Chain A
């Protein structure tokens, strides 16, 4: 796996600058609710980046991301009951999610198209039912199902949660950058174009998909764990809920599937939507569904895609390229 050092460094400075500024926010008195919006943005972006990786670049339209989110969250919660510190819980959460991804990849990778979609759809449902019945450690928050308090979450400082989410988000962005600008990205593009051709040119299709699926699950698990620290409790129906899939799908699609910056743009919009629609309850998801369908039909390349197209066709830009060609 080769890395083009030059390409990796491209645009890294602005990214680090932005991250540094964002990291300073809690220290310079940015209001709490803004920190909350940003926290959600970080989590949603991490999730969306991973989904973009799977669906956009690997051709794996995974509907089982809630499984990894919930597993990350539950692992964390359960470990807090055993008395282990949060950071252990988060990392183990990511590992559990990754292991689970390895486990289900065996049946699931033999499928494609709708079979894969249904296969991945079943997984969060299975976990939801499982955790409704099974109580790994004593005690429950609610009478129905294995709802768990995340012990000590209320003592966890808000700034720490914020930074945790920022770090996880950064990880997801760097992972995407790494993938897209190395030969891994080339291999993935080849697979998406024509899987059998890619295979005969020496791309190890299964391996690439497998590692992508597992790694994406790990990061998704991280994000899930972090989210549930801030929530303070977890229960099966909302942890493994299709609402998660809608969030990460919408963010990726609105921003632009298969675009590196797509999920970032989309995540901003989804956070905004989240708060605009919060008061409408059931209609919130309904509206999100309508937006999803609408965008897919009308602007399937999302905002970033539309902007890129506009830039490409600007006359002044065109002239500039002509000029630079002549001046060589």
Chain B
């Protein structure tokens, strides 16, 4: 894909990733990074960097929407995230120093474990205390 077609696809795909962000509490980066490398031809590092730039306004919009509905505590969430940003700088520096193919496989294994655990929990348990 290239030119206008690519940009139409990017907007449409962004919509999908945005629903995931608002609904699942994730920025949709796990959807956008593969999309940006496969469909938009970005390198792994470019895709990750660009994904973060999409995640920022999406997370702001999602947080504002939740705040209007009285879900969660935005002040605590922001303070929590400021501490997390120390990890983010370290993680990005590590990514810039490492080959992305290795990291992708490690992450895939981790994501599978967490995903299966959530499915099991959703299927077999009720509300947590």
Chain A partners chain B = no
| Interface residues of A, Cβ cutoff 8 Å to B | none
